[in-house]
Amino acid sequence: MNGTSDARRLGILISGRGSNLHALMDASAHGKLDARIAVVISNRADASGLDRARDAGIATIVLDHRGWASRDEYDLALARELKHRGVALVCLAGFMRLVGPALIEAFPNAILNIHPSLLPSFPGLNAQRQALERGVKITGATVHLVTGELDGGPIVLQSPVSVLDDDTVDSLSARILIEEHRIYPDAVRAVLSESWRLDGRRFVGSEEP
């Protein structure tokens, strides 16, 4: 992937194991995603996803969110690191920080997040538990563009997951995660295709992944 242009360079933000980072790495390594991961940044030094990235020869940075004067100052530092490495598309992969205006403005319509529900249902934390408590029969995974509204940006791709009568949070989460790993590379590919537009809140006109 050394010949990948800057327009196809990804920056991945993580806070923990980064299982969706692994899915993107595998898709890139096996030619299923024509993009290069330029850098992986974590706000936690103990994030295990950093080790996987380092083992694959991907540049990693720890940028602790603590000690900054404001969220904007931290987000501006993130933006500088990403821009310095020529990142065109930012992918959140278990990044447990709200993204503020400073980063969104640095990468307009170029930050993706994946969420374990069929948005707009069950935004925020503990989406799988929310689904079980509400008794829905179908939930799933959503990849969306990041805006200032929590889990409220235009939806790029979704995949449904049935909720079984004997599901627990763990069992439901595990099945949703399988779909997350499947659709995240597809959503990245759709956005990188540049054959899409926004119609209000709707992401339309992309090629089928």
Q: Is residue 148 part of a domain?
A: no
Residues 71 and 129 in one domain: no
Q: E strands within the chain?
A: 9-14, 36-42, 60-62, 89-92, 111-115, 138-145, 155-162, 197-199, 202-204
Residues 53 and 74 in one domain: yes
**DSSP run (H or E) holding 90:** strand 89-92
Residues 86 and 101 in one domain: yes
Q: What is the CATH number of the domain that holds 48?
A: 3.40.50.170
Q: Is residue 54 part of a domain?
A: yes
Length of the chain: 209
Active site residue 115: yes
Per-residue pLDDT tens over the stretch 57-85? 999 999 999 999 999 999 999 999 999 99
Report how many domains make up the chain. 2
Q: Which of 22, 30, 65, 115 is catalytic?
A: 115
Residues 30 and 103 in one domain: yes
Per-residue pLDDT tens over the stretch 104-130? 999 999 999 999 999 999 999 999 999
The parent domain of residue 203 ranges over 114-142+156-187+196-209
| pTM confidence score | 0.93
Q: Is residue 62 part of a domain?
A: yes
**C-alpha span between 36 and 44 (Å, rounded):** 23
**C-alpha span between 165 and 79 (Å, rounded):** 44
